Structure 1
């Protein structure tokens, strides 16, 4: 398929060669359907209001060390480095991201099925879920470059064919997140506004966008308006803390010019009722290791 299924309504159009636009979100943030799990009513309320919530100490210090050793093992493996699932920094050549790690790493395969993780994702999305994307992000000291402001759902909708923002991301810190080492910035409440971006999607856009995203990002005037309306908060905390954020949360991060690295495990859960169709604004879907087409529900 080269265009979205004509029977699938595009309620979130983007990249149509015109200017940007603000569209009102028409879908829930916390979905009904799953009544029990580790998330409290207060956490779910915060997630609904702000588009994100933080779980301090999701992983114990010992677990953090285990995952850090796994990160080091993967980044030092020449076969992993040569794999197309490994993305390196545009200028320094340092490892930036390792994709599909829930399939290549035993510890992370177990993590996505951990009740502390899986059951919270099911609570938020109101259904069984699968992993749409997984990766380890590594932002080394001095050389780590940030991610410009964007909504993940805009990309997943345009390039992967995800119909609705019924997905949630979890970022677990493997290192302490300080205000000064490139921590993730988020705009509370901006998840209820969908920014339809200007331009069109080039062929194989993922090959460059994973290093530096230039297509599917809001214009500076759009970021300015959202920033003044909603403000900006930053995810900080000790290693083992987890940030859960809605797929349409406006977020970004700056460069890391400190000696302190910032690494995290990043897992995207999508509802089994929100299976991708043909891309809405790209000629063909991105590769499976970036955007899964296998939507079998996860089980413990």
Structure 2
């Protein structure tokens, strides 16, 4: 049952409002809980992200590459609402809820290398809030403009606090020039309210185009965050590399006009103590294939 809670992170406003200092912790667990060491947790708390050069093996990645290709080329799935098509190229941009439509990706969400750090960071059992494969094909992959995922999940899904973490696992080589992930270090400690009421069924447009202004931060705020951070971090690396990042990190990626595709598996873990309620800034919740309301904890391997 949905519940209405006090809104501590107001957004989707009629008029601009100043940025807010984050009230909630970034790290809820301890080094003793593993697998990350104390210095890694400290860095995550300070920067908002943790990178792994080789989270998965080459052999494992080949399996996931094959599964991602199968999903993208499935003509029935292409017509499904869980599949997002690029506005200009008409190629597949994203396939959502892959942990439910693919046993291969379901197993990945429970892998202790993937779910373990999330449990430790969030200090609790976790469930999958969202999963998807992002495809950024060569010569036509569109950009993702600067944004905080938590701002969207709070406004449109009813996520109370930023006690969630995402992991992006590279399926292809991530070069500096083919649209790899960019994060402003330390930006997770600041919540930037966005201006503009959320239209009905906003997800139908926002997932297909980067030109929709609702839910996007103002340029001065992004400029200020980058200035305070002393720059922007860009995540490159081979297939199997991964980046864990806090839900309130200001992040984005450029479009891909190179011949080299850039694809990734994207999994969002939310704390079971931070379940969704009534949206804080939208007329109705988004569909459950985008924001799950099944709060069953991800199973631990070996139990």
User: What is the TM-score of this pair, normalised by structure 1?
Assistant: 0.96
**Matched positions, count:** 297
Alignment correspondent of 2:252: 252
Aligned to 1:141: 138
User: After the TM superposition, which residues 194-233 of structure 1 pair with which residues of structure 2 at under 5 Å, given as runs?
Assistant: 194-212=191-209, 213-230=212-229, 231-233=231-233
Task: Kindly indicate whether the alpha-carbon contact (under 8 Å) linking 1:34 and 1:122 is maintained by their aligned counterparts in 2.
Answer: no
1:73: which partner in 2? 70
Counterpart among 182, 186, 205 of residue 183 in structure 2: 186
Aligned match of 2:95: 98
| Matching residue of 2:237 | 237
Residues 2-25 of structure 1, C-alpha deviations (whole Å, 9 max, x = no match): xx845x111100012111420110
Q: Which residue of 2 aligns with 1:49?
A: 46
Specify every segment of 5 or more residues in structure 1 that has no aligned partner in the other structure, as ranges: none
CA offsets per residue over residues 122-157 of structure 1, 9 Å max, x none?
001000000000000000001001100000000000
Secondary structure of 1:65's counterpart equals: helix
Equivalent-residue separation in structure 2 for 1:293 and 1:159 (angstroms): 13
The residue number in structure 1 matching 2:19 is 22
Mapping of 1:163-174 within 5 angstroms?
163-174=160-171
Judge which range, 47-56 or 11-20, deviates more.
11-20
Mapped pair 1:115 → 2:106:
no
Which of 12, 21, 26 does residue 9 from structure 2 map onto?
Answer: 12
Distance, in Å, in 2 between the alignment partners of 1:223 and 1:72 is: 35
Determine the structure 1 residue equivalent to 2:286: 286
User: C-alpha root-mean-square deviation of aligned residues, in Å?
Assistant: 1.3
